[in-house]
């Protein structure tokens, strides 16, 4: 099934909506925080001027080409204010990688625990039958907990880049694969 590019996902408290050019300043401000960047495999630090615009252009290009889907994480009652980003990318082998970050002010409120299951449900429609996977850094217990609660199980380790850290490569990055206990 090909979901329309303007797909919105609603959860109890959140509206996950398409990214827009107007999101660039919020992305630059929130992703520019070293506490966010150091836990991700993608965000550079310091966050370069223009990188948010380039990211949005990349995301929209992936969506048009069918290789990815990206959402601005917002509160349902404040959809203009981006809190973070969550996205899906299809690898060459057909695996769908889920990735996400929240700005520090939104941490610890259960928001990513709410967003991830909703995006996983979307991913299962977007790429039926595909393996859905996520890499985390070893110390990122919060992200690992989010994934476990969403039905992911630890499945070995992989290699991740860590552009915001001196150590550029993390070789023991726990890999999580969506494997819900459908009998529960």
The answer to whether 111 touches 102, Cβ cutoff 8 Å, is: yes
Angle at 177 between CA 173 and CA 179, to 5 degrees: 150
Q: Should residue 19 be labelled a site residue for ligand COA when binding is judged by CB under 6 A?
A: no
Instruction: Tell me the CB-side half-sphere exposure of residue 149, using CA atoms within 13 A.
Output: 15
Q: Which of 47, 70, 71, 101 binds ligand COA (CB under 6 A)?
A: 101
Tell me the β-bridge partners of 97: 89, 133
SS3 149: helix
Query: Binding string to ligand COA for residues 25 to 64, with x set by CB under 6 A, is what?
Result: -----------x--xx------------------------
CB closer to ligand COA out of 74 and 136: 136
Q: Should residue 112 be labelled a site residue for ligand COA when binding is judged by CB under 6 A?
A: yes
CA distance 105 to 83: 8
CB closer to ligand COA out of 66 and 138: 138
Stretch that binds ligand COA, among 5-13, 20-28, 75-83, 109-117 (CB under 6 A): 109-117
Taking the alpha carbons of 81, 152, 65, 40 in that order, is the dihedral positive or negative?
A: positive
The site that binds ligand COA (CB under 6 A) totals a number of residues, namely 20
The residue ranges that bind ligand COA (CB under 6 A) are 36, 39-40, 100-102, 107-113, 136, 140-143, 145-146
């Amino acid at each position: 099934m090909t979901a329309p590019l303007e797909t919105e996902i609603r959860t109890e408290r959140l509206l996950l909506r398409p990214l827009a050019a107007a999101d660039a300043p919020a992305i630059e401000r929130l992703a520019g925080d070293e506490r966010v960047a150091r836990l991700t495999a993608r965000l550079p630090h310091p966050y370069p001027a223009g990188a948010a615009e380039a990211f949005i252009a990349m995301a929209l290009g992936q969506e048009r080409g069918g290789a990815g889907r990206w959402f601005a994480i917002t509160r349902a009652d404040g959809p203009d204010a981006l809190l973070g980003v969550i996205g899906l990318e299809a690898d060459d082998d057909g695996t769908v990688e889920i990735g996400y970050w929240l700005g520090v002010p939104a941490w610890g409120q259960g928001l990513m625990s709410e967003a991830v299951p909703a995006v996983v449900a979307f991913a299962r429609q977007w790429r039926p039958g595909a393996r859905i996977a996520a890499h985390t850094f070893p110390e990122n217990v919060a992200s690992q907990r989010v994934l476990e609660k969403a039905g992911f199980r630890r499945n070995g380790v992989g290699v991740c880049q860590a552009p915001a850290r001196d150590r550029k490569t993390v070789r023991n990055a726990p890999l999580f694969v969506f494997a819900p206990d459908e009998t529960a």
